[in-house]
Chain A
Amino acid sequence: MADRVTEKIAPAAAGNAGGTGATAVTGRIRRRYSLLTRRDKAVLALMVGIPLFFDIALIWGPTVVSFFLSFTNWNGIGSPFDAKVIGLKNYENLFTAYPFFWPALQHNIIWLGWLMFIATPLGMFLAVLLDREIRGTRFYQTVFYLPVVLSLAVIGIIWKLQYAPEQGFINNLIGRTANDNLIDWYGNPDLNLWAALIATSWRHVGYIMVLYLAGLKAFDPALREAAKVDGASERQTFFRVVFPVMMPINVVVVVITTIEALRAFDIAYIINRGKNGLELLSTLITNNAISESNRLGFGSAIAVVLLVISLVPIVAFLTRMLRGEQA
Chain B
Amino acid sequence: MTAATAATTAVIAQRRRLRPRRIALYAFLSAMAVVWLFPLVWGIYTALRPFSDTQARGYISTPGTLNFDNFTDAWNGGEFSLHYLSTLIVAIPAVILTLIIASMVAFAVSRFSWRFNLVTLLVFTAGNLLPAQVIIVPLYKLYTALHGIPPPLSDNDLLYNQYFGLILINVVFQTGFCVFVLSNYMKTLSKELTEAALMDGASVLRIWAAVIMPLCRPALAALATLEFTFIYNDFFWGLMLIKDGDRRPITSALNNLQGQFFTDTNLLAAGALLAAIPTILVFIALQKHFVSGLSLGSTKG
Contact = CB atoms under 8 A, between A and B. Distances in A.
Given A55-B176, A145-B291, A158 B39 contact: yes
Contact of B130 (A12, A159, A168, A314): A314
A299 B138 CA distance: 10
Given A44-B204, A47-B108, A310 B251 contact: no
Nearest to A5: B116
A324 B280 CA distance: 35
Interface string B52-66: 001000111000000
B276 A59 contact: no
Given A35-B198, A35-B199, A36-B198, A59 B294 contact: no
A309 B140 CA distance: 22
Contacts of B105: 47-48, 51-52
Given A154-B251, A164-B265, A129 B173 contact: no
Contacts of A285: 133-134, 136-137
Given A44-B204, A151-B233, A167-B265, A290 B131 contact: no
Given A9-B112, A285-B136, A149 B279 contact: yes
B240 A62 contact: no
B153 interface: no
Interface stretch (A84-92, A95-103, A109-117, A209-217): A209-217
Given A282-B133, A318-B125, A265 B236 contact: yes
A306 B104 CA distance: 32
Interface residues of B, number: 106
Contacts of A256: 298
A154 B113 contact: no
Interface residues of A, number: 114
A147 B254 CA distance: 17
Contact of B136 (A36, A150, A290): A290
A69 B137 contact: yes
A266 B130 contact: no
B299 A215 contact: yes
Nearest to A297: B137
Contact of B203 (A14, A39, A76, A265): A39
Contacts of B251: 151, 153-154
A143 B39 CA distance: 12
Nearest to B139: A62
B60 A143 contact: no
A324 B300 contact: yes
A282 B131 contact: yes
B37 A58 contact: no
A150 B276 contact: yes
A214 B299 contact: yes
A143 to B, nearest CB: 5
Given A214-B294, A310-B129, A296 B137 contact: yes
B169 to A, nearest CB: 6
A43 interface: yes
Given A146-B283, A149-B282, 20 more contacts: A15-B114, A35-B199, A51-B175, A59-B173, A62-B138, A76-B141, A129-B25, A134-B26, A143-B37, A149-B229, A160-B265, A161-B42, A168-B59, A214-B294, A269-B239, A303-B133, A303-B137, A307-B134, A318-B122, A322-B118
30 contacts: A9-B112, A15-B113, A36-B112, A40-B203, A47-B208, A51-B124, A55-B124, A59-B135, A59-B172, A66-B134, A130-B29, A149-B282, A149-B290, A151-B275, A158-B272, A159-B39, A161-B43, A161-B268, A168-B265, A172-B58, A202-B39, A214-B294, A225-B7, A229-B7, A289-B137, A306-B131, A307-B130, A318-B125, A321-B125, A322-B118
Q: Which 7 A-B pairs have the closest CB atoms?
A: A214-B295, A151-B233, A16-B113, A15-B113, A12-B114, A167-B265, A62-B138
Interface of A: 5, 8-9, 11-16, 29, 32, 35-37, 39-40, 43-44, 47-48, 50-52, 54-56, 58-63, 65-66, 69, 76, 80, 126, 129-130, 134-135, 139-140, 142-154, 157-162, 164, 167-169, 172-173, 202, 206-207, 210-211, 214-215, 218, 225, 228-229, 231, 248-249, 252-253, 256, 259, 262-263, 265-266, 269-270, 281-282, 285-286, 289-290, 296, 299-300, 303, 306-307, 310, 313-314, 317-318, 321-322, 324-325
